[in-house]
Amino acid sequence: MEPFENISPLDGRYIGPDETMRKRMSPYLSEAASIRYQLKVEVALLETMAEFGICSASVPESARKAAEDITAKEVFEEERRIGHNVRALVNSMRKRMPENERGFVHLFATSNDILDTSRTLAFRDFASEILIPDLIDLVSVISGKAREYASVRQIGRTHGQYAEPITFGYALSLYVSRIGGRTVALERAREDLRGKLSGAVGAHNALALHDPMNPAIFERKHLERLGLKASDTQVSTQVIEPEAMADFVFQGILAMSAMANLADDMRHLIRSEIGEVKIVDGATRVGSSTMPHKVNPVAFENVKSLWKAFAPRIVTVLMDQISEHQRDLTNSASSRFLGEILAAVDYAARRLGGAMKKIQPDEEALGRHLAACRDQIVAEPLYVILALSGHPDGYGKVRSLLKDARESESTLLQAAGKDEEAAKILEGIPPHQAKVIDDPTSYTGDAAERALHTCDEWEKTLGLLR
């Protein structure tokens, strides 16, 4: 089957036909992956049984060998025949094992002990082996750029209007902080994902047949073997408390929101009229099918667009918080789509990282815009300086000077120079204030230092996550 026959753009366009992408994601997020992770959980369960003396050590050994041999196709066909996915898996294991060992397979477990736990495992592995490293790489790219341009002045914009100056690196460092922060939050949520082995209605019913005194210990040992925890007090229904998974997915989506914001910022800075950012790209791309002169910010558009496609899916996650009684199974199909969200977050991180490597500020454009609003910038520092110098209404004073300036068609500073009160104050100000009045584009606060500090801190923090 060609990937192009697929329905999902993930499988038919973004990931499926791209071998690098597919090989990164498929081992964790595909149907085949979910079978492999389920087998892992079934084998671990038998290992725990052996540890507790319920079966001999040969049973998990046989199961492990059987598992190596089982394909997704085989399980799928067995499921078609019997109409039950986990039982199909179990049958595939059992038929490869000696007759006297078969009875232990899946013992104590309900299907969802396997499904919930294996999904947790797959997502945990995907996060630690793929997604978090990719997010760290992305932060690292942004951080590199933020350092490089920490002192490159840029006009800040609010309401889409020139406001006060910052530095280009400072603006980028905010994304070091935001995406860095989400990476840490995702790691924390990842560590908090839970597994279960509490049976069909959650009360360790079957395990209590083995050990009536403390059935939950078995669950704990089994999950520890997989590197997982159960819910805090080991209560559940047929499914794990859904909140930990919701937290995990939400952090992924928040990371994507921050990426979409960065993508939007880049898109706008690349706009024809702004041009403060350039894409430096050796490739011979076709700009547009009818306008050959254009080079478009497609990677940034793609990241924003994927965010549109995936952010609303958090509502599905919220819907899946609710399940009737010990479980109503209307979360069964919907929760299968969670992996798509993770795939999209990772795809976006990689695509954004690739695009960010190629950006470069255009210092000419940066300078031009700063120059264009040089006289407007000065209003704020002027008012603050007047106030700091003891003027009772610096703000009002500046408003009235602005009016003077408009009327006399001069600049604000010229108007201030002509105004006795203001002129007198400005004469006596300290050098660091005089510098700002002299060159308002230097009114960048602690942007440069703070950009570097932010990069330092997050590189350290994320370095610990590697």
Which positions from 364 through 423 interact with its own copies, judged by CB under 8 A?
369, 372-373, 376, 379-381, 383-388, 390-395, 398-399, 402, 412
* Closer residue to its own copies in complex, CB, 121/255: 255
Secondary structure tally for the chain: helices H, strands E: 25, 4
Closest Cα partner for 262 from 139, 364, 368? Answer: 139
Annotate each residue in 304-323 with x if it binds its own copies (CB under 8 A) or - if it does not, as one string.
xxxxxx-xxxxxx-xxxxxx
* Least distance CB 374 / its own copies (angstroms): 12
Give the span between the Cα atoms of 237 and 203, in whole angstroms: 8
Which positions from 199 through 228 interact with its own copies, judged by CB under 8 A?
199-210, 212, 214-216
The answer to whether 164 contacts its own copies (rule: CB under 8 A) is yes
- In the set 20, 53, 280, 284, which binds its own copies (CB under 8 A)? 284
The answer to whether 424 contacts its own copies (rule: CB under 8 A) is no
* Closer residue to its own copies in complex, CB, 94/147: 94
* Least distance CB 197 / its own copies (angstroms): 12
The one segment of 61-69, 137-145, 220-228, 233-241 that binds its own copies by CB under 8 A: 233-241
* 218's tokens: 């078995």
* Least distance CB 254 / its own copies (angstroms): 6
Are the CB atoms for 179 and 138 separated by under 8 Å? yes
Closest Cα partner for 76 from 25, 120, 122, 35? Answer: 35
* Least distance CB 391 / its own copies (angstroms): 5
* Closer residue to its own copies in complex, CB, 182/222: 182
- In the set 53, 280, 283, 466, which binds its own copies (CB under 8 A)? 283
Long-range contacts of residues 354-359, Cβ cutoff 8 Å, at least 24 apart: 354/299, 355/263, 355/266, 355/279, 355/297, 355/299, 355/300, 355/303, 356/138, 356/141, 356/142, 356/145, 356/262, 356/266, 357/141, 358/279, 358/280, 358/281, 359/145, 359/266, 359/277, 359/278, 359/279, 359/280
The answer to whether 140 contacts its own copies (rule: CB under 8 A) is no
Give the span between the Cα atoms of 431 and 263, in whole angstroms: 39
The answer to whether 156 contacts its own copies (rule: CB under 8 A) is yes
Contacts of 457 (CB under 8 A, 6+ apart): none
Give the span between the Cα atoms of 69 and 86, in whole angstroms: 17
- In the set 20, 53, 290, 466, which binds its own copies (CB under 8 A)? 290
* 113's tokens: 């002990």
Q: How many residues bind its own copies (CB under 8 A)?
A: 204
* Least distance CB 226 / its own copies (angstroms): 19
* Least distance CB 457 / its own copies (angstroms): 5
- In the set 59, 136, 270, 370, which binds its own copies (CB under 8 A)? 270
The gap from C-alpha 19 to its chain's centroid, in whole angstroms, comes to 22
The answer to whether 272 contacts its own copies (rule: CB under 8 A) is yes
* Least distance CB 263 / its own copies (angstroms): 8
Annotate each residue in 441-460 with x if it binds its own copies (CB under 8 A) or - if it does not, as one string.
--xxxxx--xx-xx--xx--
The one segment of 117-125, 128-136, 248-256, 419-427 that binds its own copies by CB under 8 A: 248-256
* Closer residue to its own copies in complex, CB, 417/445: 445
Q: What is the DSSP string of 170-234?
A: HHHHHHHHHHHHHHHHHHHHHHT-B-----TTSS-HHHHHH-SS-HHHHHHHHHHHTT-B--TTS
